[in-house]
Amino acid sequence: MHNFQMHINEYLPLRDVVFYTLRQAILKGELEPGERLMEMQLAEQLGVSRTPIREAIRKLELEGLVLMIPRRGAIVAKITEKDLRDVLEVRSSLERLSTELACERMKEDTIVELRKAQEAFKEALDGDDITLQAQRDVEFHDVIYKATGNLRLIQMLNNLREQMYRYRLEYLKYDLAHQTLIEEHEAIIEALSKRDKDTATNIIVRHVYNQELTVMKKIQDDDETLIVKK
């Protein structure tokens, strides 16, 4: 039996509360890669019926956090190199486009919003709440997305965000990555403030690539550890 618990939110349907509870347990490593998700056991632990558990597992499968294996049922998905590359290739292209459009269309207060978001992000890095750090990072990029004025693009980036969240958390677990993130954010702000499209897009692509390199190394290190244990 795991230690995670469900916190009821009166503004959310029960199925959503169950979904977010299981999602956080996976992202924080309380439910580990390869672990089976037993509906009856989870329902008993969270004090709900099996129906919201089943619905949550289906949503987690859509996010790539859970795999359905024949004759085994649902298991927590591990992070793979291909999944990481696939997601970050898409993110890199969308981030580049959003940065180009933001350079062209942003309003005068965009830079002010970015600086406020950056300060909130740096403040979060001073603590040990990794989910808050990830949220503040998301909020920084959201300012850029909003500045594009392209609702379709914003929607695509928001959909991708759920698939990115796991990788974002893995990256933030590295303390050495924190200073890199701060410096890259600052460089993005500086380039945008000058409406320097080429510099801004180059930085944002490097920003995504650095995340890929770091998380990829962790995947490879984990695989090597598993081989040694075998």
- The CATH number given to whatever domain includes residue 69 is 1.10.10.10
Region 144-157: mean pLDDT is 97
Region 194-213: mean pLDDT is 95
Amino acid 222: pLDDT: 66
| Residue 67 and residue 139 in one domain | no
DSSP three-state, residue 73: strand
| Residue 45 and residue 114 in one domain | no
User: Quick check: 169 and 161 in contact, CB under 8 A?
Assistant: no
Amino acid 226: pLDDT: 44
pLDDT digits 0-9 by tens, 58-113: 999 988 889 999 888 999 998 888 888 999 999 999 999 999 999 999 998 999 99
User: Quick check: 85 and 212 in contact, CB under 8 A?
Assistant: yes
Amino acid 229: pLDDT: 46
Residue 59 lies in a domain: yes
Amino acid 115: pLDDT: 98
| Residue 105 and residue 42 in one domain | no
| Residue-range definition of the domain harbouring residue 44 | 14-76
- For residue 64, give both structure tokens: 């790539």
Amino acid 143: pLDDT: 98
Residue 143 lies in a domain: yes
Amino acid at 54: R
pLDDT at 1 over 80: no
| Residue 199 and residue 124 in one domain | yes
How buried is 3 (Cβ within 10 angstroms: 0-12 exposed, 13-18 middle, 19+ buried)?
exposed
Instruction: Based on DSSP, count helices (H) and strands (E) in the chain, helices before strands.
Output: 9, 2
| Residue 212 and residue 155 in one domain | yes
Chain centroid to CA 191 = 25
Please, what's the b/e burial string for 128-157 (b: 16 or more CB within 10 A of its CB; e: otherwise)?
A: eebebbbbbbbbbbbbbbbbbebeeebebb
Q: Which of 33, 61, 76 is at the close of a domain?
A: 76
pLDDT digits 0-9 by tens, 212-230: 999 998 888 766 544 444 4
Amino acid 223: pLDDT: 60
User: Quick check: 118 and 186 in contact, CB under 8 A?
Assistant: yes
What does the alpha-carbon distance between residue 208 and residue 204 come to, in Å, rounded to a whole number? 6
Region 135-159: mean pLDDT is 96
pTM: 0.80
- For residue 90, give both structure tokens: 């898409």
| Residue 97 and residue 68 in one domain | no
Indicate the number of domains in the chain: 2
Residue 177 lies in a domain: yes
Q: Which of 76, 98, 124 is at the close of a domain?
A: 76
